[in-house]
Amino acid sequence: MVVLASLAPGLGKSQTGLVIGAKNFDEQYILSALIGQRLKAAGTPSTVKGDLGSAIAFHALAAGDIDLYVDYAGTIWGNQMHRSDMPGRAAMLAQLKDWMGRSHGITLLGPLGFENAYGLAMRRDRAEALHINSLADLAAVSGRLKMGGDFEIFTRPEWRAVTRAYGLSFAVQHQYQPNFLYRAVAGGDVDVISAFSSDGRIAQYDLKVLADPKGALPPYDALLLLGPAHAHDAALIADLKPLIGAISLKAMQQANLMVDRDQDKQTPARRLSGWRRSWRIDIAGGRDNRT
């Protein structure tokens, strides 16, 4: 896993500016580096507190131990709100915004423009050999297949929802660090993995993400969240607003692949140097370059 030089262990207020939170996977380090660069361009120093679990990051934001970070709609919906119903994306985002503001003083600035959605994926040739196109097809043969997941998935409400909806039950379940999941399925160590839609290795390894016809999995829009102390900081909000809606799924997949790939890895900070060309935002100036 790539770790930025600016990361410091533990929580607690920074003496040198805003504290950006990051969970313990590379996409989060990429996004925290992007936010840090945007703040630096606006004249606001920042540091990053990384390797945070989902629950720790959310409660650290509410408590003021970090000032802002990126979380995902489905994660907050299931883990923090303890909701398992699926009212649709627009209704979900509206209810998330209202609940976070009322219950925790957290401001939802908006979605960044892409989803990092859970999905179950198989090697394409394996899925075709077994005639599996959807989770419903998978359920019919799951009892003789091996499943791989990250360290959180099997205890998450989303996993309970999808297994309940389709009756999935695997012969074996293995847990892996996120970076090893894709190698496991590509090498045949497992038949199915919990994949993430913004991961560039889906295309790299030619994986097939199985359809979810029952809509058991919620949307996972990446959301920029701001802590209670900054809810009325108009200048900070204005500096961050250009990031809203500016990151496409394709751009995030490409950025993740540059950091996650086995050869010629790039650090998140180095990867940012190419984003002015490929993303719709001028990070330094905040100008909207969408065409």
User: Are 32 and 97 contained in the same domain?
Assistant: yes
The pLDDT value recorded for residue 95 is: 98
User: Are 109 and 242 contained in the same domain?
Assistant: yes
Cβ(191)–Cβ(183) under 8 Å? no
State how beta strands 46-52 and 18-23 pair: parallel
Query: Domain range holding 261?
Result: 18-116+220-278
Q: For residue 288, is it within any domain?
A: no
89-122: pLDDT as tens digits: 999 999 999 999 999 999 999 999 999 998 999 9
Question: Could you give the CA distance from residue 157 to residue 148 in angstroms, rounded to a whole number?
Answer: 17
CATH of the domain at 265: 3.40.190.10
Main-chain dihedrals φ then ψ at residue 70, nearest 5 degrees: -105, 130
139-186: pLDDT as tens digits: 999 999 999 999 889 998 889 989 999 999 999 999 998 779 999 999
Burial (CB count within 10 angstroms: exposed 0-12, middle 13-18, buried 19+), residue 279? buried
User: Are 57 and 81 contained in the same domain?
Assistant: yes
Q: How many domains does the chain have?
A: 2
Q: For residue 215, is it within any domain?
A: no
- The residue from 209, 236, 260 where one domain ends is 209
Question: Could you give the CA distance from residue 88 to residue 28 in angstroms, rounded to a whole number?
Answer: 25
Confidence bin at 2 (pLDDT 50/70/90): very low
27-47: pLDDT as tens digits: 999 999 999 999 999 999 999
What percent of the chain is helix, strand and coil (3-state, nearest 5)? 45, 20, 35
Q: For residue 43, is it within any domain?
A: yes
Q: Convert 60-74 to b/e letters by CB count within 10 Å (16 or more is b).
A: bbbeebbbbbbbbbb
Q: At what angle do helices 26-41 and 249-260 cross, to 10 degrees?
A: 110
Question: Measured between alpha carbons, how far apart are the two ends of the chain, in Å?
Answer: 34
